[in-house]
Amino acid sequence: MTRKRRRLYVVLAAMLILSGAAALTLGALQSEITYFFSPTELTAGGAPAGRSIRLGGLVEEGSVHRLDDGVTTTFRVTDLSHSVPVTYRGLLPDLFREGQGVVTEGTIGADGTFVAREVLAKHDETYMPREVADALKKSGQWRDSKETAK
Amino acid sequence: MIPEIGHFAMILALLVALVQGSVPIIGASRGNAAWMDVARPAALLQLVLIIIAFLALMWAHVVSDFTVLNVVQNSHTTKPLLYKITGLWGNHEGSMVLWVLILAAYGAAVAVFGGNLPPPLRARVLSVQAWIAIGFLAFSLLTSNPFERIFPAPINGNDLNPLLQDPGLAFHPPMLYSGYVGFSMAFSFAIAALIEGRVDPAWARWVRPWTLVAWCFLTAGITLGSWWAYYELGWGGWWFWDPVENASFMPWLMGTALLHSAIVVEKRDALKAWTILLAILTFSLSLIGTFIVRSGMLTSVHAFATDPERGLFILLLLCVAIGGSLILFAVRGPSLQPGGLFAPVSREGALVLNNLLLVAACGTVFLGTLYPLFLEAVSGDKISVGPPFYNKTFVPIMVPLIAAMAVGPFLAWKRADLAGVLGRLKLAFAAAVAAALGAVALEGGPVLAVLTMGLAAWLLVGTLAEWAERIRLFRVSPGESVRRARSLPRSAHGMTLAHAGLAIAMAGMVAAAAWKAESVKVMRPGESVDLAGYTYRLERVEPVQGPNYSSNMAFVTITRGDRLVAQVTPEKRLYPVQQMPTTEAGIHTTGLADLYVVIGDPDAAGGWTVRIFYEPMVPWIWAGVLLMVIGGGVSLSDRRLRLGAPARRAKAPAGATPARA
């Protein structure tokens, strides 16, 4: 086996594996990524029905209710110009509370209610999720004060 | 006064690093021995100075010196002593001090153990180490000084984020950083080799053990973090494909590739340029990993308070380090002498395949982690990339890797007989089929999970079969097998342990993903819930007072049939200083599965939200990874690789190790 032949084999194997990986990645980027929406964007429509998306904003004051089954919670996520009703079945994160930033992942139902599979709140309560901060800035409700931005 | 001493020591360390980064390397290019000799005392002095700075900061934390801003922000008088100490690196500024401390320790190790290295190589390596130190010390001193004072001093501090007050996370950063920074050794050797324009045997004998050390630390560090997320966050998961997790996983993947390609350099003197490229990329990913967590570039479920203003400095540092080393590689790489020939089907070929697959897998993780940033910059769309993406990209790349992993160690160097090797893997194939059938019989479920369980069995039995063949188990007398096992190099045992560990961990990962069960219910004391064959009864919930928190502790008894299995005590804690609640999961492990209970908030009617997970085979993940780290340690204790051993080896008779170079 000559050096050239060997190099050819290695290059062929590398091409094969890299093109395979690229194909897998491109395919997954088509179908498996999750878009982020603010309540305003979601209200305006355009969110794909049945596809998993993320919704982020503030938990509206006074909107959190627990249903009679004890484990389903409903609340509204707002960017202070629009708000979207959300239902979530499960244990809420430790830092979930009214007035705080939250990111939820799930699907939008036919009635406009967002059914969350997952609710994320930050580890650090002084920190606002970046998407939420941007959503608030977009809706013109961002206050650059010490309470919101660290 | 003591914080000022620490600050001053750090400034002195930076000055020493400037000397160490310039004089020896100039000496090496001019052949001036006196200038080259500056490197060793400089490296030791740098370590001493940084130890002084580190101890000064630790002193401020331990005595709660609230005139120091860093202590105010991260400590509180009621905090337990352990967390006062570990709180040092539970924040950005302190963790940077830990980073440079570990870097200086590795540099000093070259100075102490490097007596047998050619002096110019040693001088250059230590200079490159000093360049890294300059970058980090300047970053620390200019943008994140841990010794900054505050006036007037507050009565008490803000406390450490309660989630970090946990033994698992207390030791996660030192482990992780020892891994990240450990790859700086391979990097410095790679840069030094590029400057010299040659890769000699001493080079390979040094790079491999240090890469192995870094790899062991990184493996342990990632797992500690994952273990912590598993029991502390109360989400019942152990890996979330979160950017911060990926940041530590990418250097692991690349470092694993480096570990294997360094074997080829050492034994066969081939793949030299490739190994140098891997060394550069591994450390680059370590740098990116350090900074992804620190800069707030990426939104993450794990990100703690971050400061985007440091981003510019970080970006500059990354550009200089990564761009500079890659340019150097492009210029000097082609001049390296190519090494020995091999057929595609050979041990070398298998290791090349391993490298290609690991690098491709690392590439998908890299894209998944950074694509959201890129897309947002280009189109403004905000996206997140989660587990489904990695299940479709990373997992399919890992499958052929695992399949080939059982075959690779059987292959001979240079040229091997694939058909013959596959014949010797009949037992492993039978085990794979048996495991897949067993999985169907016991659990049923997703086809993919069943197949990957088979794959894990294939790897485990294939690995053990290779080891058994080496000691000719059952073919010769047991005494003879033991004698053969003793004379086998420790690195061979290490490989067997590490590969078997991966098989066990993989079985755990697959089972945990495929057959997990979950129940969420509001329970009053006295009520019970059934899940996966176990009955969980909430006995009572009691208020408990900790040193710096108050807690509601639930007592849950778990029974199976009439038999009492265990009592677990999940807690919901409140840390009053930060007004922050945390979850402490109650976990009972049966060895085959974890029974995992989390308690939530009470409702008005005296009920508590209780979330219960049945986590099949999760303990296997931890056991498997532990085995991998032990395997790395065993391999490291190999005489051939022992630190400083090359000197003795050079004098040892040629028969001590097979002459392969």
Supply the pLDDT for residue A143.
Answer: 56
Residue B179 near residue B214, CB atoms below 8 Å: yes
In this structure, of A127-141, B293-307, B546-560, B561-575, the range with the lowest mean pLDDT score is B293-307
User: B29 is written with which tokens?
Assistant: 């290019």
E runs forming strands in B606-661 = 608-616
Residues 6+ apart with CB under 8 A from B448: none
How far off is chain B from A57, nearest CA to CA, in Å?
14
List phi, psi (to 5°) of B547. -60, -40
Q: Which residues on adjacent β-strands are paired with residue B541?
A: B554
Q: Provide the pLDDT for residue B659.
A: 36
Q: What are phi and psi of B439, to 5 degrees?
A: -65, -40
Measured between alpha carbons, how far is B455 from B447 in angstroms, rounded to an integer? 12
Q: Which among B244, B269, B299 is the top mutation candidate for probing chain A, defined by the most A β-carbons within 10 Å of its own β-carbon?
A: B299
Closest C-alpha among B181, B186, B178 to residue B224: B178
**Cβ pair B609, B600 in contact under 8 A:** yes
pLDDT level of residue B260 (50, 70, 90 thresholds): very high
- Angle formed by the axes of helices B243-268 and B172-196, nearest 10°: 40
CA separation for the pair B562, B543 (Å, rounded): 29
Q: What is the mean pLDDT of residues B306-329?
A: 82
Quote the pLDDT of residue B98: 95
Residue of B nearest to A92 (CA): B600
| DSSP letter (8 states) at residue B547 | S
Q: What is the pLDDT of residue A1?
A: 56
* B204-217 average pLDDT score: 91
pLDDT (tens digit per residue) in B468-515: 998 888 888 888 889 988 888 899 999 999 999 999 999 999 999 999
Q: What is residue B134's three-state secondary structure?
A: helix
Q: Convert the pLDDT of each residue in B161-204 to its tens digit.
A: 787 888 888 889 999 999 999 999 999 999 999 998 888 777 88
pLDDT tens-place string over residues B40-89: 999 999 999 999 999 999 999 999 999 999 899 888 988 899 999 998 98
Interchain contact, B580 vs A129, CB within 8 Å:
no
Q: How far apart are CA A142 and CA A149, in angstroms?
A: 10
Q: What is the pLDDT of residue B656?
A: 37
* Spatial contact of B260 and A92, defined as CB atoms under 8 Å apart: no
Q: How confident is the model at residue B651 (pLDDT cuts 50, 70, 90)?
A: very low
Q: Rounded distance, CA B6 to CA B179, Å?
A: 25
Is CATH 3.90.320 correct for B1-165?
no
- Band (B295; pLDDT cuts 50, 70, 90): low
| B386 vs A34, A66, A89: nearest CB | A34
Residue of A nearest to B523 (CA): A70
CA atoms within a 13 Å half-sphere pointing along the CA-CB vector of B70:
29
Query: Cis omega before residue B152 (within 30°)?
Result: yes
Q: How far apart are CA B440 and CA B446, in angstroms?
A: 9
Give the residue extent of every domain in chain B.
1-165, 167-337+344-399, 400-515+631-635, 517-619
Q: Collapsing DSSP states into helix, strand and coil, what is residue B562?
A: coil
Backbone angles phi and psi of B482, in degrees to 5:
-65, -40
Asked if residue B628 has pLDDT above 60, the reply is yes
Long-range contacts of B321-328 (CB under 8 A, 24+ apart): B321/B132, B321/B135, B321/B284, B321/B287, B322/B280, B322/B284, B322/B287, B322/B288, B325/B187, B325/B190, B325/B191, B325/B280, B325/B284, B326/B280, B328/B191, B328/B194, B328/B195
Model pLDDT, residue B303: 45
**Torsion angles phi and psi, residue B153, rounded to 5:** -75, 130
For A126, residues 6+ apart whose C-beta sits below 8 A from its C-beta are A150, B305
> Can you give the pLDDT at residue B10?
96
Instruction: Identify the band that residue B456 occupies on the pLDDT scale cut at 50, 70 and 90.
Output: very high
A49 near B CB under 8 A: no
Percent over 90 (pLDDT), chain B: 59
The residues, any chain, with a CB within 8 Å of residue B372's CB and separated by 6 or more, are A33, B298, B382, B383, B384, B385
Neighboring chain B residues of A53 at a CB cutoff of 8 Å: none
What is the reported pLDDT for B559? Answer: 95
Q: Which residues contact B514 (CB under 8 A, 6 or more apart)?
A: B443, B445, B446, B449
What SS3 string covers B186-255? HHHHHHHHHHHCCCCHHHHHHHHHHHHHHHHHHHHHHHHHHHHHHHHCCCCCCCCCCHHHHHHHHHHHHH
Tell me what pLDDT residue B312 has: 76
Going residue by residue through chain A (150 aa), what tens digit of pLDDT does each one get?
A: 567 777 788 888 889 998 999 999 988 888 888 888 888 888 887 777 778 888 888 888 899 988 877 788 999 998 888 899 999 988 888 778 888 888 899 998 888 889 998 888 655 444 466 666 776 777 666 654 433 332
Tokens of B493: 């045992």
pLDDT at B302: 46
pLDDT at res. B641? 55
Q: Nearest residue of B to residue A4 by CA position?
A: B341
Phi, psi of B371 (to 5 degrees): -60, -40
pLDDT, tens digit, 9 for 90 and up, residues B431-450 = 999 999 988 888 777 888 99
Q: Do B360 and A34 touch (CB under 8 A)?
A: no
Determine the pLDDT at residue B170. Answer: 85
Which chain A residues touch B384 with a CB distance below 8 Å?
A: 33-34, 36, 54, 105
Token reading at B407:
């075959």
Q: Judge whether residue B254 has pLDDT over 90.
A: yes
Q: Domain A35-138: give its CATH code.
A: 2.40.50.140
DSSP string, A52-77: -EEEEEEEPTT--EE-TTSSEEEEEE
- Minimum CA–CA partner of A28 in chain B: B389
B650: closest CA of chain A, how far (Å): 31
Reply yes or no on whether the pLDDT at B307 is more than 90: no
Which residue of A28, A91, A94 is in closest CB contact with B392?
A: A28
- Which residues of chain B lie closer than 8 angstroms to A33, CB-CB? 371-372, 383-385, 389
For the segment B92-133, what is each residue's pLDDT rounded down to a tens digit? 889 999 999 999 999 999 999 888 888 999 999 999 999 999
Measured CA to CA, the distance from residue B629 to residue B94 in angstroms comes to 27
Question: Looking at chain A, which residue has its C-alpha nearest residue B518?
Answer: A90
CA A91, chain centre distance (Å): 18
Q: What share of chain B is helix, strand, coil (3-state, %, to 5)?
A: 65, 10, 25
Q: Does A92 touch chain B (CB under 8 A)?
A: yes
- Using the Cβ of A70 and the Cβ atoms of chain B, whether some distance falls under 8 Å is answered with yes
Domain range annotation of chain A: 1-33, 35-138
The percent of residues above 70 in pLDDT, for chain B, comes to: 94
Q: What does each C-alpha distance from B149 to B4, B153, B568 come to in angstroms?
A: 9, 9, 45
Q: Which of B218, B200, B204 is nearest to B256 (CA)?
A: B218
Asked whether the predicted pLDDT for residue B299 surpasses 70, the reply is no
The distance of A30 to chain B (nearest Cα, Å) reads 10
Q: Count Cβ atoms below 10 Å from residue B164 Cβ, excluding itself.
A: 22
- The complex's ipTM works out to 0.82
Query: pLDDT of A103-140, one tens digit each?
Result: 899 998 888 889 998 888 655 444 466 666 776 777 66
Lowest-confidence region among B244-248, B337-341, B384-388, B561-565: B337-341
